[in-house]
A and B are shown apart, each in its own frame.
Chain A
Amino acid sequence: KQEVTQIPAALSVPEGENLVLNCSFTDSAIYNLQWFRQDPGKGLTSLLLIQSSQREQTSGRLNASLDKSSGRSTLYIAASQPGDSATYLCAGTYGGATNKLIFGTGTLLAVQP
C-alpha cells in the first residue's frame, strides 16, 4: 500500500531559524513529489515539484530534496519568518492509471516573532 508520512506533526521555532520538514513514502516507484503549503481553511499552494529523475529543487528560501532509494524527501526552510507559519504537506504521484496525489498528514509550522 502506498503511504506517505510526515514528521514532525507540529513544529514551533523562533523567527530566523533554519528548519527541516521530513516526508517518508513506502513505495519508491514514485513519479514525482510535491510540497504544498496550506493556510487555515484555505486551498493548497504548490511550493516545489521534484521529478523522480531529480535530486532537489530550490525556490528562494526553500530547498526540497528527494531520495527514492531511502523513500524520503525533506523540505528545508532557511531564515524562517512568521509568514511561513502554515501546514506543509508533501504528496507523491505514482502515475499509471490513477495519477492521483497521495498526501502525507502534514506538519503544522508556527514561527514565533
Chain B
Amino acid sequence: EAGVTQSPTHLIKTRGQQATLRCSPISGHTSVYWYQQALGLGLQFLLWYDEGEERNRGNFPPRFSGRQFPNYSSELNVNALELEDSALYLCASSRNRGAGTEAFFGQGTRLTVV
C-alpha cells in the first residue's frame, strides 16, 4: 500500500511568487493535514481538510490556503511568497476525522524562497 505522497520534492521560488504543493493521502484516508517545519521553529499546524471541507487552520496569514479534491488529494497554495516561508512542508493523512486517529506523514516538499 502506497504511503502519503507529496510533490514536488523540492521547489525554488522568488519572493512575491506563488507556490503550489500537492499531497495524495493513503488510499481510504479522508483527512489531510498540512504542517510547516521551518528551521528552528519546529512543526506548526497549517490546515486540516476532511471530506472536501476545511475543518481548521493554524495561526497563519490568509495567503496560505488550500483545498481538498473529491479523491481526497489536497493542494496547498502560498501566495505572495516571503523569504520566511522557506521551510519543509509536510502533509499527513488519517483514516477519518475521529479524534485521535493515527496520522501518517509524507516525505515533504522543501520550499526555498529566494
A binds B: yes
Residues of A at the B interface (CB closer than 8 Å) are: 31-32, 34, 36, 41-46, 49, 51-52, 89, 91, 93-106
Dominant SS among interface residues on chain B: strand
**Which range contains the number of B residues in contact with the other chain?**
20 to 34
Query: Which residue of chain A has its CB nearest to the CB of B110?
Result: A41
Given A43-B90, A101-B33, 17 more pairs with CB closer than 8 A: A31-B99, A31-B100, A41-B88, A43-B105, A43-B108, A45-B105, A51-B100, A52-B100, A93-B99, A95-B99, A97-B55, A99-B101, A100-B56, A101-B43, A103-B43, A104-B42, A106-B42
Decide yes or no whether B48 CB sits under 8 A from chain A: yes
The docked-state distance in angstroms from the alpha carbon of A95 to that of B108 is: 24
Decide yes or no whether B97 CB sits under 8 A from chain A: yes
Contact B105 A44 (CB under 8 A): yes
Decide yes or no whether B16 CB sits under 8 A from chain A: no
Residues of B at the A interface (CB closer than 8 Å) are: 4, 6, 31, 33, 35, 42-43, 45, 48, 55-56, 58, 88, 90, 92, 97, 99-108, 110
Contact A34 B102 (CB under 8 A): yes
